[in-house]
Chain A
Amino acid sequence: MNALLDLLRILVFPGMIFLVVMGMAGQYLDRKLYARLQNRVGPPWYQPVADLFKLLGKESVIPEEADKGMFRIAPVFALAAVITAFLYIPLWNARPVLSFQGDLVVVLYLLLIPTLTFFLGGWYSRSIFSTLGAVRSITQLFAYEIPLLISLLSPALLANTWSISGMVQYYAEHPYRWLFNLIGFGVGLITLLGKLERVPFDAPEAETEIVAGSFTEYSGRHLAFFRLAIDSEAIASSSLLAAVFLPFGMGLPLWWGVPLYLAKVAGILFVLAVLRTVFARLRMDQMINFCWRYVAPIAFLQVIIDLVIKEVF
């Protein structure tokens, strides 16, 4: 009976199906906000679902030159990695589906896999636009991943644990101490834009230069899985930021906890949508420059702050 319950938790709630539904809701929220901020009407609520089913029903064309195996497996792999990562993230209490000492590092690693699959999928498409997009994806990865890592590790330093649920517990026992990590939260939000390849960091799929970057050759269900993986990644990363940087109200009962969790994620998605509305796309060299010159030092500043606070208390 317990095994069945675990399976349900992994597959339905709060695992796979929940994440996918959230992903589509998140996509809707993002598109609608983006549209409203641009003075457009925006899509109806079922648009992400309609898009998904339409893509699933379409023919998937694989280029003759492409490595067929890699081409097919990359989108599925991306989605699988995101779903696995999501199982380790505490959502509305300190008890995620899976947890162990050090799961923070594992989650970060798993959330890095989608970018790697963008690279592999693009590279093995063997089209010039895909290749350029793939190279840009991986170049961008080196620019944002380190600041993101540092910004997420500094709250862990303060909590003295490598497990996310441990961190949630720590911040529950020491309320208001999460306020010290707000700089890291800002860094996390900025680097998340890079991870999700959104404006201003969407050079890897800049349509006016390289069509759709890594996804140029993708169509049909393979593209659908990639899209689903990206939407889910947005939710999983936002949930991770929420758990690490906004760890308040995590002990509430389910009917209070879930709305609070949804509000946190919606808040993060809102900030991301606003950021992508107000900026122009940065060039690759400008993006790398920006990340290393400004974002990384600020992330280090967060580490120093947390180390000092740890000594004080």
Chain B
Amino acid sequence: MSDERVVTVPIGPQHPALKEPESFMVDLRGEKIDAVRMRFGYNHRGIEKGCEQRSYTQDLYLVERVCGICSYAHSTAFVQAVEEIAGLELPRRAVYIRTIIAELERVHSHLLWLGVAGHEIGFDTLLMYTWRDREQVMILLARLTGNRVNYGMNTLGGVRRDIAPEMIPEILKVVDSLEERVKYYINLATSEQTVIQRLSGVGKLTREDALSLGTVGPTARASGVDRDTRRDDPYLAYRDVSFKVITDTHCDVYGRTVVRLGELLESFSIVRQLIKNIPDGPIAIKAPRRIPEGEAVSRYEAPRGEDVHYVRGNGSEKPERVKVRAPTLANTQSVSKMLEDGYLADLPIVIAAIDPCFSCTDRMVSLRENDGNEGRTMSWEEVSRYGVEWHKARGIDFSRVRIPGGAGA
């Protein structure tokens, strides 16, 4: 195969490297990447619209399902915005409990990422080890909240479960044991030759690019951008704890690994401080069913970067508008920059290094020509018939297919 020939390799929508459907068309010259064309939108679920049709309390559970990993980030960002509109002052204990859960979620998310990164560079042992260790924090979260993910911990005006005094030593035990493990992984990532070879110099993103492409979270911090919503715009109880914002100047996947591992150690320290200072008192106040008119933007430093929720209330039980900006949306732009002049072999780890969550990101944006054509509404039957006709026109044989509802056939 001549080096000059360009071969297009489809990575996705279905591909073993990808946990979610999204498409990367990669033009290759030999093993080198010439260009990457990304396409998202396979996961659009209409959550924002769904929120407008449900009450605030129901939305809390819907929004929690935006992401399967940082579910608490979305739920908390949403509830913060609603509470701001309603002018609710939360009991301190509730705020502390929320912060503890938030940091434990960061721990499980970063450990998950480390395992995925290991798998992407063909180091499955790392995957097995980190996910085994991650199990400790998952079990702890399940004991604290009742669920491993989608904790259902938040409610308007506080949290739904208290942290019992006998759980405190358990939390500290898990934190201690994980801290030791994370130190081991830091040692491993900074000394194991094959890992360093696969990570350093891969997926370069300069500080200028990181800023101009608007990256957030560990991706930005690994390029030397000193930004962390927890410190810059403190929410929850972050004002009461001291922690370092980990940055790195490697500007590559190695840097992103170092930042995430460093953040894990900071999270352990935050959880310890919170547990030491957790105040007594009620865990929730009564919230009104109708949220007054008003709007609020809430920022939240999710494990993957800054998560932004916008909520507008109109005085009824349902919000008028909910907008979710997941951190992955801010980071996807940088991926094609990182892949420039890279190898095909590095593509999975470079994509994985922004810790993408595409189903959280997918929103529908419809661009309309300004020609007065406002589109039209189709009934389910019409949509079904339209789909059948569309595929028939492209030569698909429907004679042996039975379509429920009888449309088309």
Question: Which B residue's beta carbon lies closest to that of A278?
Answer: B125
- When distances are taken between beta carbons in the complex, the residues of chain A under 8 Å from B214 are none
Q: Which of the candidate stretches A35-43, A87-95, A140-148, A164-172 sits at the interface with the other chain?
A: A35-43
- Assuming the A-B contacts A203-B345, A284-B31, A284-B345, are A129 and B9 also in contact, with contact meaning beta carbons closer than 8 angstroms in the complex? yes
Question: Which A residue's beta carbon lies closest to that of B17?
Answer: A208
B123-A280 in contact (CB<8A): yes
- Assuming the A-B contacts A203-B345, A280-B195, are A208 and B119 also in contact, with contact meaning beta carbons closer than 8 angstroms in the complex? yes
- When distances are taken between beta carbons in the complex, the residues of chain A under 8 Å from B17 are 207-209
B16-A211 in contact (CB<8A): yes
Cβ-neighbour of B122 out of A129, A208, A211 (below 8 A): A208
Cβ-neighbour of B7 out of A128, A206, A284, A285 (below 8 A): A128
Tell me if A228 is interfacial: C-beta within 8 Å of chain B: no
- When distances are taken between beta carbons in the complex, the residues of chain B under 8 Å from A284 are 31, 343, 345
Tell me if B409 is interfacial: C-beta within 8 Å of chain A: no
Tell me if A279 is interfacial: C-beta within 8 Å of chain B: yes
Tell me if B139 is interfacial: C-beta within 8 Å of chain A: no
- The B-contacting residues of A in range 126-140, CB under 8 angstroms, are 128-129, 131-132, 135
- Assuming the A-B contacts A38-B128, A38-B129, A284-B31, are A209 and B121 also in contact, with contact meaning beta carbons closer than 8 angstroms in the complex? no
B128-A209 in contact (CB<8A): no
Q: Mark A270-313, 1 if CB is under 8 A from B, else 0.
A: 00000001111111111000000000000000000000000000
A286-B197 in contact (CB<8A): yes
B345-A279 in contact (CB<8A): no
| Interface residue total, chain B, C-beta cutoff 8 A | 34
Q: How far is the CA of A281 from the CA of B346 in the complex (A)?
A: 11
Question: Which A residue's beta carbon lies closest to that of B192?
Answer: A280
- Assuming the A-B contacts A135-B1, A283-B198, are A38 and B119 also in contact, with contact meaning beta carbons closer than 8 angstroms in the complex? no
A295–chain B nearest beta-carbon distance, Å: 15
A125–chain B nearest beta-carbon distance, Å: 14
Q: How far is the CA of A206 from the CA of B28 in the complex (A)?
A: 17
- When distances are taken between beta carbons in the complex, the residues of chain A under 8 Å from B124 are 38, 199
Tell me if B144 is interfacial: C-beta within 8 Å of chain A: no
- When distances are taken between beta carbons in the complex, the residues of chain A under 8 Å from B129 are 38-39
Tell me if B183 is interfacial: C-beta within 8 Å of chain A: no
Q: Mark B115-147, 1 if CB is under 8 A from A, else 0.
A: 000111111111011001000000000000000
A279-B347 in contact (CB<8A): no
Which interface residue of B9, B122, B347 has the most chain A CB atoms within 10 A?
Answer: B122
- The B-contacting residues of A in range 93-141, CB under 8 angstroms, are 128-129, 131-132, 135
B346-A283 in contact (CB<8A): yes
B152–chain A nearest beta-carbon distance, Å: 31
B12–chain A nearest beta-carbon distance, Å: 11
Q: How far is the CA of A203 from the CA of B195 in the complex (A)?
A: 15
- Assuming the A-B contacts A207-B16, A208-B17, are A199 and B122 also in contact, with contact meaning beta carbons closer than 8 angstroms in the complex? yes
B404–chain A nearest beta-carbon distance, Å: 28
B338–chain A nearest beta-carbon distance, Å: 16
Tell me if A202 is interfacial: C-beta within 8 Å of chain B: yes
Q: Mark B233-266, 1 if CB is under 8 A from A, else 0.
A: 0000000000000000000000000000000000
Tell me if A200 is interfacial: C-beta within 8 Å of chain B: yes
Question: Which B residue's beta carbon lies closest to that of A216?
Answer: B16
B194-A280 in contact (CB<8A): yes
- When distances are taken between beta carbons in the complex, the residues of chain B under 8 Å from A202 are 122
- When distances are taken between beta carbons in the complex, the residues of chain B under 8 Å from A283 are 197-198, 343, 345-346
Q: How far is the CA of A9 from the CA of B283 in the complex (A)?
A: 79
9 residue pairs A–B, Cβ–Cβ below 8 Å: A128-B7, A128-B10, A208-B16, A208-B348, A209-B345, A280-B123, A281-B198, A283-B346, A286-B198
Kindly list the 4 A-B residue pairs having the minimum CB-CB distance in the complex, ordered from nearest. A281-B122, A280-B123, A38-B128, A208-B17
Chain B residues at the A interface, C-beta cutoff of 8 Å: 1, 7-11, 15-17, 28, 31, 118-126, 128-129, 132, 192, 194-195, 197-198, 343-348
